[in-house]
Each structure stands twice: as structure tokens, then as C-alpha cells.
Amino acid sequence: MSKRAELAQAAAEMYYLNLDTMDSIARALGVSRSTVSRLLAFARETGIVRISVDSVSKSDTALALEDTFGINVVCVPIRRPLTAVARLSTVAKVAAERLNHMVTNDQVIGVAWGNTTSEVLRHVTPSPRENVTVVQLNGSTSLRNQGYTHADTVLSRAVEVFDAEIVPFPVPAFFDYVETKQAMWKERAVLSVVDLIHDADLMVFGVGAFHSSVPSLVYSGGYLESEQVAELSNDGVVGDVCTVLLREDGTYEDIELNKRASGPTPKELMRVDRRLCVVAGQNKASALLGALRTGVVTDLVVDEDTGRATLERARATSRRRKF
């Protein structure tokens, strides 16, 4: 075995088996961080490391969702009773495999913070890429939460699994005043992040819902008051994508709070070619349907039960419209 192969094997064992960081491996081997990245790439290319993905066959539900909405769908079968958290974890494992396959060198990836994306990244097998940038899609501060805990969890994990550079978005999830947001969007520091989001190659996000079994952080973390949620529900709002609120019919532009939301709108997200959405839990069916109707999703990973419930809601509303 050549010296390079020996180093590659050592680096791969530390990275994939011991889950050591790139920095600690570099120190242990006496090389630079970039050399470790190249050694791991060499390990994959030469077969020292083999990464396999178990495919999930297309169910009738997945095929129907693809036919109805013109997207790529994986429906994850749930063959036994699971808690809401276990269901999310099961779906996240499949989504992590899909994400690992979608991420390549020289990409900008927009990631929305939340329970779902955090769980997906937790299950991604560390596989460093070259020149990958991960940008935070929506602000994460609120009156009750002045830190960036939720977003930091997602961004920090992205650094670990893809050896990515990160670009945070240190603005509120929702501004108090429309004028404040408009003023901030004129600042060069904010515009640089917004422009990077618009130029991204891949988006990764979940769907928030008011009454999800695993509480969506936007509604459980103090970003909205309970009175606001009640008012929004009365207006037909069922959830959000990247903190942009939407109704089941896919409308969102006339929702007043969206003028103060920091996240990209579905129209803005649709500038990006690939948009991976991950959803678990039947309580998110109406919010997922709203997201699908905006056209914001190109790739969907969802549990079979939620996929079926979403289809049933879509068909029911279509029948009502006919009459």
C-alpha cells in the first residue's frame, strides 16, 4: 500500500468510524485540513471507503404525488407504530441519504433551520466536499430568543458533514415593522446573504405546521404569540416554509405577516433548480399540500401515511372546487 493510501485509510477510519473532526485528523496526521479533505476524497474514489444507499421503492402514493405535482417523491414506509419523534427520525434517515447524493463539489446550499433539517443533517454520513457553502435561509432571533441556537445547530452540523463554509443570517425571524425589514434589505451585509440565497444550487427545508406532533420551532419557540397564531388560523393559514406563512390552497402573498418575515418566499425559492423538502407526520398534511401547491418543492421525502393524507386532501379540495 502506498504512503498516500495508508494516510487515506487512517483519515477515513478516524473520520467515518471515530467521527473525528477534520481539524483533529489534520493534527493527528501532521497535515493540513485541505490535505485531509483530499485524502478522504481519494479514499472514496479508490474504494477504501464505500458509501451505499438503500433505495426505497416507489409506492402507489409516491407515484400519485409525482403525477399530481410533477416532482420527485420518496415515500418512507412506516411498518409499525412509532412515536412522532421516531417517525421523524425514520424519514430523516432516508432524506439524509438523498441529500448526501444531491450535494456535490462547488455548490451553494441554502438550509432552513428547524427540527426537521436538524434531524436530517444529524443522520448524514460525513462526506466532505470541495468548495461547498451553506447559507442560512431565514433569520432566527425573536423577542424571547436572542441567540442563534436553532440555526447554529444546523449550520454547525453542515460544517461537520460537508466540510462546508457557513454563512449565517443574523436577522429576526420576523421583524416588528415592515419598514425595518425594508431598511435592512438595503444594507450591503444583508444583501450579500440574500443574493447568495438567490444564487444557490440546492435548497433544503421542512414544512412548519401549527399543530404538528413534533412542535415546529417557529410556533413553539416564541417567534409568534398565541394570539397571532389564532388570528392566522382564522385567516386559513396552516403552516410555513422558511417562516413564510401559507394557506392550504398555496396562497401566501396577501398574508400581512409575510411582509415582515425574513425567509425567502416560495417565488424566490423557485429560482433555485433543486429544492428538497422533508416532512414527517400526518398533522403536516395540510401545510405540505399548501407548499406543494406553491410549486416550491422539486424533491420530497415524506412518510407514507402523510403522503397519503396529503393526496386525500388534494383530491377532496379538487372535488369541492368542481361543485
Domains in the chain, CATH or no CATH each: 3-45 (1.10.10), 60-322 (3.40.50.1360)
- Enumerate the H helices of the chain as residue ranges: 3-12, 22-29, 33-45, 60-69, 84-102, 115-123, 149-162, 178-184, 188-198, 217-220, 226-234, 266-269, 285-294, 304-322
Q: Which of 40-54, 81-95, 128-142 has the lowest mean pLDDT?
A: 40-54
Does the structure show a pLDDT above 80 at 215? no
Q: What is the pLDDT of residue 257?
A: 95
Q: What is the pLDDT of residue 49?
A: 83
pLDDT digits (tens, 9 = 90+) for 90-120: 999 999 999 998 999 999 999 999 889 999 9
Does the structure show a pLDDT above 60 at 54? no
Q: Mean pLDDT score of the chain, rounded to an integer?
A: 88
Q: How many helices (H) and strands (E) does the chain have?
A: 14, 10
Q: 3-state DSSP call for residue 171?
A: coil
State pTM to two decimals.
0.80
Alpha carbon distance 290, 275 (integer Å) = 15
Q: Which of 52-61, 224-233, 312-321 has the lowest mean pLDDT?
A: 52-61
Query: 187: which DSSP letter?
Result: S
Contact 76, 91 (CB under 8 A): yes
Average pLDDT over residues 278-306: 96
Contact 35, 46 (CB under 8 A): no
- How far apart are the two ends of the chain, measured CA to CA in Å? 73
**How is residue 34 written as a grid cell?**
485541505
Average pLDDT over residues 228-244: 92
Average pLDDT over residues 29-58: 80
Average pLDDT over residues 135-163: 77
Q: What is the pLDDT of residue 221?
A: 64
Q: What is the pLDDT of residue 323?
A: 46
Average pLDDT over residues 240-269: 95
pLDDT digits (tens, 9 = 90+) for 11-32: 988 887 777 888 889 999 999 9
